[in-house]
Chains A and B, each alone.
Chain A
Amino acid sequence: MSKNTERVELDNVVVKFVGDSGDGMQLTGTIFSDSAVKEGNDIATFPDFPAEIRAPHNTVAGVSGFQVHVGKKEIHTIGDLCDVLVAMNPASLKSNIKWVKPGCTIIVDVDTFDEKAFDKAGYSANPLEDGSLGIYNVIKAPITSMTKKAFENLPDGFKIAEKSRNMFALGITLYLFNRDPKFSLEMVQQKFAKKPEIAKANKLALEAGYSYGESIEALHSYYIPPAKIEKGKYRIITGNVATAWGLLAASERSKRPLFLGSYPITPATDILIELAKHKSLGVKIFQAEDEIAGICSALGASFTGSLAITTTSGPGFSLKSEAMGLGVMTELPLVIIDVQRAGPSTGLPTKSEQADLYQALFGRNGECPLVVMAASSPVDCFYAAYEAAKLAMEHMTPVVLLTDGYIGNGSQLFKIPKTADLSDIIPPIATANDPDYKPYRRNPETLVRQWALPGTEGLRHRIGGLEKDSTMGTVTTDPLNHELMVKYRADKIDKIADFIAPLAVTGEAEADLLVVSWGGTEGSVLTAVKELQAEGKSISHAHFKHILPMPKNTTDVFKGFKKILVCELNSGQFVNYLRMTHTGFIYHQFNKVQGLPFMVTELVNKFNKMLEE
């Protein structure tokens, strides 16, 4: 780092690596963010890949990216706009230039900028020469040719150089941020431990890129001081993996074996993939023939006493509706995880929004209440999944846990918990030969019925989708019994409000503006609110994880504010739900339905406007 001309200290930066699918951008970004953590920064990441596996080479449709937000303070979002963009070809530059802050640095592989590639990317002229990038600090690095040069003495050097360009680019970026390359070199070694030649080539490319960085005279060098992070053991985790692990923890603590019945669907598949790895923990995985079989098999497993899970996303969630009703009717524990994506129908499979809320609340025939929760960040997916499983089993009900593509695929630093510190889970399992056992007899406090497992002596009974007698569980069409059962099913869910955390407020309990959010938008909303609080503005934040039932203190919290603004990534589903359930307030709303998360800047602007009005 001897030739640093200028070292700029920053609180946080956003770096995005973009290239063609197959250019290795996910790996490059992962190594960059992991090494930032090793040097003490907090991070949040998000992979931004196309729906197609390999779209035509060098086209905008085929661009794959990985965004990393690194900081010395706690990081709650993946960051609005990039401070540094690393673009491996013209198409990736074209599709990402709109996300780069003016004046910031763009590193391009200049070797890929030829007529053919401009044409494929949809450029009419060379963007590096037509002045269109004048407001940026563009570093034209001959990444491909320099990698080839570094490999000239290796057998097959030219061939593997094409595959190692990403590591050369990583080397430049590491240099740019004053990173010690040793962590990245270790990760490359680990990643390719079974392919020593590839490991060697990648390390060579990374070192060559780093040296190249040193040789660029005009390069600003950035430094992000370590974050103040609570002491402890950490790892980096994505929301989908955290969800899977939260379920595993709940299975272990409840002593109920985990059963997952699921069908692959973007962006939920990673939960299925993760759980399939852990058979040593007794997990039973059933990759079903369709979404319906996924949830129905889970209900069957639930009847026999498993912690039963089904995972899906929007369209699959629709297919599960009828069986969710069966789960409500049979009052069996079941966790349905919907990793929301942008809809309707097939929609935007790799993009995210919060538009399945109405469906979770109301998307079934008959009066069919179940618990609806939403996870707020990648790490929170662990705790939310644990709680969803706990509520499902202790209250004998299906629970819908809403996450989304952004928090599911995004990653964060995760302080490793001890499973012994998690709250107990005690399912109401009926005892053998209990003479008083009746299938629908309820605990008078909670209205929860008992879980009588097939195989247990003296508890033979039948359940099903037909309306049941309120105690005996036999089939009946008696009108008053039906009304009573409808009420029991609703009251049972409402009573769960006694078992969930109250709504917390970040900031003063009385202020001019309360910003309300739910689910995966917590990070961006909180960041924006804190920014204004630091400026002394009268603004607070309340974030909902529990949607049905809602925290009991919701009305009391709302009473403390002159204005309430509800922010969500849909056209206003939660705000309308509040209008229906918590009357007497005027709710303002701020919505975005672009398949994209909130940017902190747009939130700050909206909040300022609300405060001024």
Chain B
Amino acid sequence: MLLNKTIEPSDKQLSKEDFVSDQMVRWCPGCGSHAILNSVEQVFPKIGYKKENFIIVSGIGCSSRFPYYVNTYGFHGIHGRATAIASGVKIANPGLSVWIATGDGDSMAIGGNHFIHIIRRNMDVNILLFNNQIYGLTKGQFSPTSPVGTVTKTSPHGTIEHPFNPGELIMGAQGTFFARVTDTNPRMMTDAMFEAAKHDGTAVIEVLQNCIIFADKVHASITSRDFRDDYQLHLQHGQPMIFGKEKNKGIRINGTKLEVVTIGENGITLKDILVHDQYSVDPGIHLMLAKLSAPEFPVALGVIRSASFSTYDDQVVDQIKTAKANSRIQCVDDLLNSGDVFEID
């Protein structure tokens, strides 16, 4: 399947082995990053581009070792700047499928500025945002997504700052694609990655990831076996938003708010349940979905938003094409001899 006309497809069927690196993977045993790596190696051959057309760019942090562990072109950058480096990669060569591996600290603290601007520009890249709510590589300090009151080495009395909800930030920056997945659900991850590759524009996938050493089980209230059915809302485009062990709970809109209802109670039928439209240009419902949080609500997972807008990199190409067709200046000698030039003899 050809996803993007500017990126050359592979002429043969690739497999996971084509992307497995010979480098030793040095994440802690049990770290959620292993599952993300496995999903990427699974999905790249399915995406179908030539293996040389993939490039992974990263910043600094545990997540950002990612490029070393995948056999593609890779650029391990500096803290917070993966999105800026990747912008240059994509603008300079739109024929590459650009993937960014970043964490909650890398993208939302030190790299917050570049993160919102790449989204605002709708650069055609895919961002894997490993959100473990902690700084892992520096050994356990709170991050911009740590909940209020989180006790860490640098917040011994609990944090006193409000965390970012990545989805809310992304939509505030006019994001066109946002998916949220858990590191415990490989299928959900590969599906979202495939959808991200399909999307023209900045696609952010927030992976609720577990840091087994410094923030173990921070997502357990959503991901553990006991809670996952009642606290995960798996979104599927065109399908009603139903969840729960008995598949009888749903989300409906009441006035200007979303609420949880039970089908069969108080006259509620399937018809009352909201149907997911991931392609809606208006981000209103998408934002409400991104903000749903336990225990009042289930957490929305899957592709929350995938709206179609023109991309920055396409427009760069278009402007150059137009300028080339219309300008008298076609080479540097033309330029040097243009305008006010005179002979001295």
Residues of A within 8 A of B (CB): 34, 37-38, 40, 229-236, 245, 248-249, 252, 257, 259, 261, 278-284, 286, 288-290, 292-293, 296-306, 308, 322-323, 325-326, 330, 416-419, 453-466, 474-475
Within 8 Å of chain A (Cβ to Cβ): is B305? Answer: no
Interface size class of B (residues with CB under 8 A): 35 or more
C-alpha gap A236/B95 in the complex (Å) = 40
Which residue in chain B gives the minimum CB-CB distance to A231? Answer: B345
Q: Contacting A281 at CB < 8 Å: which of B71, B86, B335, B345?
A: B335
Contact A455 B96, beta carbon cutoff 8 Å = yes
Q: Contacting A280 at CB < 8 Å: which of B67, B85, B93, B323?
A: B323
Nearest first, the 10 A-B pairs at minimum CB distance are A464-B76, A300-B88, A297-B88, A280-B327, A462-B74, A279-B323, A296-B84, A301-B92, A454-B73, A293-B84
- In the complex, what residues of B have CB within 8 A of residue A419's CB? 331-333, 336
Contact A303 B75, beta carbon cutoff 8 Å = yes
Q: Which of A236, A280, A303, A456 has the most CB of B within 10 A?
A: A280
Q: Contacting B342 at CB < 8 Å: which of A38, A284, A454?
A: A38
Contact B320 A282, beta carbon cutoff 8 Å = yes
Within 8 Å of chain A (Cβ to Cβ): is B77? Answer: yes
C-alpha gap A286/B343 in the complex (Å) = 36
From B48-56, B144-152, B190-198, B209-217, give the one contacting chain A.
B48-56
Given contacts A284-B92, A286-B87, A416-B341, contact A465 B23 (CB under 8 A): no
- In the complex, what residues of A have CB within 8 A of residue B53's CB? 454-455
Contact A301 B88, beta carbon cutoff 8 Å = yes
Within 8 Å of chain A (Cβ to Cβ): is B91? Answer: yes
Within 8 Å of chain A (Cβ to Cβ): is B276? Answer: no
Given contacts A248-B335, A301-B88, A303-B89, contact A233 B341 (CB under 8 A): yes
- In the complex, what residues of B have CB within 8 A of residue A466's CB? 76
| Chain B: minimal CB distance from A462 (Å) | 4
Contact A300 B52, beta carbon cutoff 8 Å = no
Contact B78 A465, beta carbon cutoff 8 Å = yes
Give the secondary structure class of A's interface: mixed
C-alpha gap A474/B69 in the complex (Å) = 11
Query: Can you report 13 A-B residue pairs in the complex whose CB atoms are below 8 A from each other?
Result: A34-B340, A231-B344, A233-B343, A245-B332, A245-B335, A278-B329, A296-B81, A296-B84, A300-B88, A301-B89, A416-B341, A457-B50, A457-B52
Contact B77 A465, beta carbon cutoff 8 Å = yes
C-alpha gap A304/B330 in the complex (Å) = 24
- In the complex, what residues of B have CB within 8 A of residue A289's CB? 113-114, 117
Contact B91 A286, beta carbon cutoff 8 Å = yes
Contact B77 A296, beta carbon cutoff 8 Å = yes
- In the complex, what residues of A have CB within 8 A of residue B336's CB? 235, 245, 416-417, 419
- In the complex, what residues of B have CB within 8 A of residue A278's CB? 323, 329, 335
Within 8 Å of chain A (Cβ to Cβ): is B303? Answer: no
Within 8 Å of chain A (Cβ to Cβ): is B285? Answer: no
Q: Contacting B73 at CB < 8 Å: which of A229, A322, A460?
A: A460
C-alpha gap A248/B96 in the complex (Å) = 24
Which residue in chain B gives the minimum CB-CB distance to A40? Answer: B344
C-alpha gap A455/B337 in the complex (Å) = 36
C-alpha gap A612/B329 in the complex (Å) = 56
C-alpha gap A418/B331 in the complex (Å) = 11
Given contacts A252-B332, A282-B324, A455-B52, contact A300 B92 (CB under 8 A): yes
Q: Contacting A322 at CB < 8 Å: which of B23, B78, B342?
A: B78
Q: Contacting A298 at CB < 8 Å: which of B73, B77, B88, B326?
A: B88
Query: What would 20 more interface pairs be, CB under 8 Å, given A252-B331, A308-B92, A454-B52?
Result: A231-B345, A234-B341, A236-B340, A245-B336, A259-B88, A281-B329, A292-B81, A293-B84, A297-B88, A299-B88, A322-B78, A323-B78, A416-B341, A455-B53, A460-B51, A460-B72, A460-B73, A461-B73, A463-B75, A465-B77
Q: Which of A288, A462, A464, A466 has the most CB of B within 10 A?
A: A462
- In the complex, what residues of B have CB within 8 A of residue A308's CB? 88, 92
Contact B75 A456, beta carbon cutoff 8 Å = no
- In the complex, what residues of A have CB within 8 A of residue B52's CB? 454-460
- In the complex, what residues of A have CB within 8 A of residue B88's CB? 259, 261, 286, 296-304, 308
Given contacts A261-B88, A456-B52, A460-B73, contact A280 B330 (CB under 8 A): yes
